[in-house]
Amino acid sequence: MKPFTRWQILSFLCLGIVSRSPAQAPPLPVEVPGITGLRGQPVEDYRLRTQNLMAKIREKEGLTANSPANQKRALVIVSGSNPPEVADFEEQKFRQPNDFAYLCGFDEPGAVLVLDAGANTSTLYVREHNAASAGFSEGRAELKADEPTAKRLGVDRVSGLQNLLGDLFTAIQDPEPLADSTTTSSDRASIYSNVSLKKVQHGTPATRLLQFVKDGAPTTAFKDFRSELGELRKVKSDAEVRLLERAIGITGKAEHAVARMLEPGLFEFQLKGRILGTFTEFGASRAGFKSIVGSGPNSCIPHYFLNTRRIASGDLVVVDIGAEYLNYTADITRTFPALGKFNDRQRALYQLVLDAQAHAASRFEPGKTRLMEMDRWAREFLRESPLRAKDATGQEHTMDHFFIHGLGHYLGMDVHDVGNGTLPMKPGEVFTIEPGLYIPGEEIGIRIEDDYLVTETGLRKLSANIASSPAEIEAWMAK
Ligand SMILES: [Mn+2]
């Protein structure tokens, strides 16, 4: 590096003066009131979830709680992450898989949660370590498999990972002589997991663990708990709603940053850089999914991830993004005119999309409405509009023809969250409403996506503070 010139030193000093200008609107604080406990949630919530899952498994297996030890066993195995296959789109940061994170707030690699549904007990197997050991344990407190740790983590027992296999095989007592006249298939132990054993050759430690147990326990029945857990994960607690609101708040900051920065001549990836920077700036763990910044013709591609095009002056820019906060992700889409003002055609189409969203939301009834119905309402609304557009062959259509994807999906730890999406929606469930119009012949793609919580009386728009009317969007972009 060359030494600084006198001019450079002078310009640094000037920049120092500029940066002392009045501060902008106060940023979201990184520490949030109300977000406390184990990864932002009360420890009792985790205990309640393991209790609820075990109750569902008992129901399925015909067991009663605290059944005698000589009855058949039904165990649930939930693996946490291990360092080598930690998934993070931007950096190799440790992250627990969502099923594990939902059931247990423990945040270190190599843990396995085992639930004994018949006995109604939970055991967390961990790698014990001393304080400040190397690698992933760096800076962490000492971890001991003892009672205080179990209490802190909301499980009945914590044990060393070295005891896992021995405990499992002792519990399931396999192999049992199936040919024995006193033993029927209904007496076999059941092991529930969330991993598929089909791809075991290139499997994760979780699949290898299951395969090992399966090989050693040939008469044990292996089953999947994902549909049971999905129905539990679908209904959000107060703490989960707070985490989602936090993720949504950070995502709104990023949409606002895009609005202020956007101008013709920028590349899509420059906006993406600002989005990811804003996520990090406000304490998001990562992006909950790949960011979409689609300008001009790319605005017509709902899943456009390249983000490589230079933005032109008449473009619309679709920005579909979501910050993740402590495993919970937002999913928000806004559409901006590159020039800061919609032209008449863009404004009319934009308003129609916004009205279709409001129309679908206004007809919602808790405990009654299904996602599919709302989808139909939005399509009917678009069809009734007097607006028209032409397809690639030049044929004219009503506007529902240009709405080419589903209206919404559940939202939570996964961006397309788990749970049966065909059932009537109940209080506590969170989902998106995201109508769109895609007219390639006009290079017009518009999508507006917001996140909603079902309450006892209707819907609460969790993203209500993020600008979405044409006037609000233009005010955000005004320089
Ligand atoms: Mn979405």
Domain coordinates in residue numbering, the chain: 43-232, 237-477
> 44-48, 135-139, 150-154, 272-276 — which is least confidently predicted?
135-139
26 C-alpha to center of ligand 1: Å? 29
pTM: 0.89
How far from 412 is each of 256, 370, 427, CA to CA, in Å?
Answer: 23, 18, 14
**Assigned CATH topology for domain 43-232:** Creatine Amidinohydrolase; Chain A, domain 1 (3.40.350)
- Taking the centre of ligand 1 as the mean of its atom positions, its distance from the CA of residue 273, in whole angstroms, is 20
Highest average pLDDT, of 22-31, 157-166, 182-191, comes from 157-166
How close is the Cα of 107 to the center of ligand 1, in Å?
27
As a whole-number percent, the residues of the chain with pLDDT over 90 amount to 72
331 alpha carbon to ligand 1 midpoint, in Å? 5
Tokens 């902008």 -> residue: 24
C-alpha distance from residue 437 to each of 72, 122, 382, 406, 443 (Å): 55, 49, 9, 12, 11
C-alpha 248 – ligand 1 centre gap (Å): 13
Q: Which residue has the higher pLDDT, 181 or 38?
A: 38
Given phi > 0 = left and psi -120 to 50 = alpha, else beta, which region is 40? left
> Who wins on pLDDT, 207 or 185?
207
Residue 80 Cα to ligand 1 midpoint, Å, equals 26
pLDDT at residue 142, rounded to an integer: 85
Q: What is the pLDDT of residue 428?
A: 98
* Mean pLDDT along residues 199-212: 80
What sign results for the dihedral spanned by CA atoms 237, 456, 230, 304? Answer: negative
Looking up tokens 């819907």 gives 459
Whole-number pLDDT of residue 176? 53
Spell out the alpha helix ranges (H) of 19-42: none
* C-alpha 112 – ligand 1 centre gap (Å): 31
Decide if 250 contacts 330 (C-beta within 8 A): yes
192-201, 215-224, 435-444: which is most confident? 435-444
Give the Å distance between the CA of 135 and the centre of ligand 1. Answer: 36
Centre of ligand 1 to C-alpha 302, Å, is 10
Residue 332 CA to ligand 1 centre (angstroms) = 7
Q: Is the pLDDT score of 24 beyond 60?
A: no
Q: How many CB atoms lie within 10 A of CB 275?
A: 25
Q: What is the DSSP letter of 241?
A: H
What confidence category does residue 203 fall into, taking pLDDT thresholds of 50, 70 and 90?
A: confident
**Distance from the CA of 111 to the center of ligand 1, in angstroms?**
31
Residue 3 pLDDT: 46
pLDDT of residue 184: 54
pLDDT-derived band at 68, boundaries 50, 70, 90:
low
- pLDDT at position 1: 44
C-alpha pair distances (Å), 228 with each of 89, 234, 240: 29, 10, 19
Dist. CA 8 → ligand 1 center (Å): 47
End-to-end CA distance of the chain: 36
> Which of 174 and 285 is assigned the larger pLDDT?
285
Q: What is the mean pLDDT of residues 101-125?
A: 95
**Ligand 1 centroid, distance to 211 Cα (angstroms):** 35
In angstroms, what is the span from residue 96 Cα to ligand 1's centroid? 22
- Which of the two residues, 450 and 171, has the higher pLDDT score? 450
The DSSP output letter for 142 is P
22, pLDDT greater than 50:
no
Distance 367 CA to ligand 1 centre (A): 22
CB 327 within 8 A of CB 413: yes
The mean per-residue pLDDT over the stretch 52-59 comes to 97
Tokens standing for residue 364: 């919602």
Interval between CA 418 and ligand 1 midpoint (Å): 14
Considering only residues 64 and 256, tell me which one the structure prediction assigns the higher pLDDT.
256
- CA–centroid distance, residue 410 to ligand 1 (Å): 9
User: pLDDT tens for residues 247-302?
Assistant: 999 999 999 999 999 999 999 999 999 999 999 999 998 999 999 999 999 999 99
Of 77-91, 181-195, 316-330, 382-396, give the lowest mean pLDDT range. Answer: 77-91
CA of 220 to the centre of ligand 1 (A): 40
Q: In the chain, what are the helix, strand and coil shares in percent, each to the nearest 5? A: 40, 20, 45
Residue 150 parent element (H or E): helix 147-153
pLDDT of residue 274: 98
- What's the CA-to-centroid distance between 386 and ligand 1, angstroms? 27
- The whole-number average pLDDT for the span 296-317 is 95
Mean pLDDT throughout 367-381?
97
CATH architecture for the domain at 237-477: Alpha-Beta Complex (3.90)
